[in-house]
Structure 1
Amino acid sequence: MLEQDLQLRELAATTHGYELNRNGGNYVRGSYYSMDKKTSVAIEYEQMKREASARGTKVKISELAKRCKVGWKYANKVAKEIECRGTVADPSTAYEEREVPRGPGSKSFDTRDCFVLLFLYLTEPARTLSDYVHWLAYYTGTIVDRSTVSRWFLHAFPISGGLLRVNQVPIDKFKPNNIERAIEYLTILTYISPELIIYGDEKLLKGQELFNRKTRRNVLTGFVPPCFVNSDFRNTYALTGFCSIDRRKPAVCYDIHDSINDSIEFEATLFDAIGKGYIRRGNVLVLDRAQIHLGKCNADLQEYMWGRQGILLLFLPARTPEWNPIELVWNTLVQRLKRIPLSVLRGIDKDAVALAASHLLSCMTHDEVEGFYRHTARHNGLFMNNM
């Protein structure tokens, strides 16, 4: 009955040009509540503050919003105004006192403003919009809002300057000895045909990667429906693999197991790949400097591979995972796992992650892996024109 009443109220509010928040209050998108409404929220907050003080607790903003039938953000804004000012301000006054530089200026950018914004970006790409606003006003006197700066980055150039997730590069990557190893590594690769180079690495496959799906909130009730998954949701698998652009062999050779990845497991997978002929005499195997490749039973692996198998084992320089094409294989695998319909996954009672990953890796083509090779070559400055 309560859900039906909520739906009827929302329908009525929409008919008259209003919207209904999750606490049952009406509002108009893009407009401010009146001063009377703001005052009523402030009075309720003061009352709840006295009650909470008597109990030795703090006011719950969510409870304040529910009592006043407003959104959480609005209730929190009123509470902050009272704590900072001792009272609430008229909406127009609060707008005038917002945290942007004040004074003479213009909301349009001239050539000098654009130059300053580019300079600010180049000196610190992760700068906040508020910081742009502050320093633009300091250098040129131009007063703008943060949204104006944001729109400038998004639309002023052929390439949009929106915020993206960034690769975090450790500063010790550029130590002199790391740079020397990188130069040595790249020098060796320039003398080797890309078809002979095989890249290897490990990855943990988790059930969450397969079932981590987003869903939409019910627009009528506000309810977020759950995502039903099978028991494989909490399982974790270890994946060891190698990739090659030699078309005489599969693009990816892999092994998926439910044990942990350690030096013994890697050694077993490596020699299995050698036994299958995927890695053979004359190949160059490139690995990172993980402990499972260098320690314990694999401490002498480099000498053994060259002396007994005729396979050159080459290690990536420190802090260079972007130079390993198989990292892109893993990334592509995860993205494709997330596209599998949940109805298909629910039909697999056991090992859904392992079975789906095995199918996708088997379907990966040489053209795709060649694209990964070229991408990493551009990263390290080594252009493989003969590919």
Structure 2
Amino acid sequence: MNFRYLRIGILAFILFILIYSVYSATGDPTGETQSGGDSGGGGGGGDAPGDGVCGATETCATEPACGACCVANQGQSCGSCGGVVLCDGSCSISTPADYGLACGSCGGTIQCDGSCSVQGSCSPGQTQCINNRYQTCNSCNQWQNAGTDSDGDGVDAQCGDSLCDNAAGVFDSTKTATETACADSLDNDCDGLVDCADSDCDGSINGTLTNQNGQLVSGADISARRGLTTISSSTTNQQGNYLISLINCGSYNLVASHPSYASQTKSNVYVNPQQTTTANFGEESGSSLVLGTPCEADCTFADDNLIHASCDGRNGCTFYDNVSKAACDNSQPGWVRDYNSTHYVTCASGSPQLKIEIGASVSCESGTLVKVTRIVFYNGKPVKLVVAACG
């Protein structure tokens, strides 16, 4: 009897333990599972990650689908750098604490990435050539033009024009050893001389001189002139031939003169670059020398108004001495030429006269002093004329 009650008591105790265990796990004495709870295990109160339920210990970071735990302004813009508000209230892009504040010594401000707005892409001391312009990097890390372009052709000396920055349109890569192109208006060899002004383009003039009888004339002077200036000259040899070599290309007037003949002139004789031009006196009608003295008493030829030293002693032509004869050669009668540093002569036969310089001054008691300066020719020489008056 006692053993029967003991067995009943043990069974009842075991049943109690089972019922208590079920109730503790489900909260329902019937043993049924509650709806709305986490079914994935791992803790009560809906704290299982990924179950879509806001558990007591879950955050928006661990359970993004839980809308109820997001801040009210989620998705709105935030900060100064283009961010939006996240579920937990933070900004998607962090704005530096010193954003917008001044930085550096070049007037910059702090940017969203923490850099300075004037922080360029170069480092001080760097150099570069961009579009033929030479640039250096300054202390503000910015590129600035720093080249030289003396000839103004758009290419800096530091960017391929170091040899020819004195010659527009000619560069280190196009420079030639000599002025081989004599009609392109460029200083091809960068020596400061262009086309026919460069001796590399020099040509020559040769020819033969005959008189009206077809006889060769020796000892005659052949002068290549531009205006009243003799550029170069030569003397005919025993065969009547002459050669004027190494003369700039271009146009000249050739004058043939001889003490026993009247002078002849061939106009507009063109010397081609690096070639020899032939100009004969006597081939064309009227170009031969005609016997007869060409010298006048004022030492000029009959057919021009230039003084010729070769006329000395002919037809009354005289010079003071050999110094004045050399000074007056190829000038005009009445022109003044320097005899030496202290004296001058009036061409052709004048004697040396002492140079006198007189200073002038103008003062105005009232009003304005008006001064006009002009370049004029006096006795065949350019002088500066200054006219001053009180206005």
Give the TM-score, by structure 2 length: 0.19
Q: Report the structure, 1 or 2, having the larger strand content.
A: 2
Whose radius of gyration is greater, 1 or 2?
A: 2
Give the TM-score, by structure 1 length: 0.20
Where relative contact order (Cα < 8 A, 6+ residues apart) is larger, the structure is 1
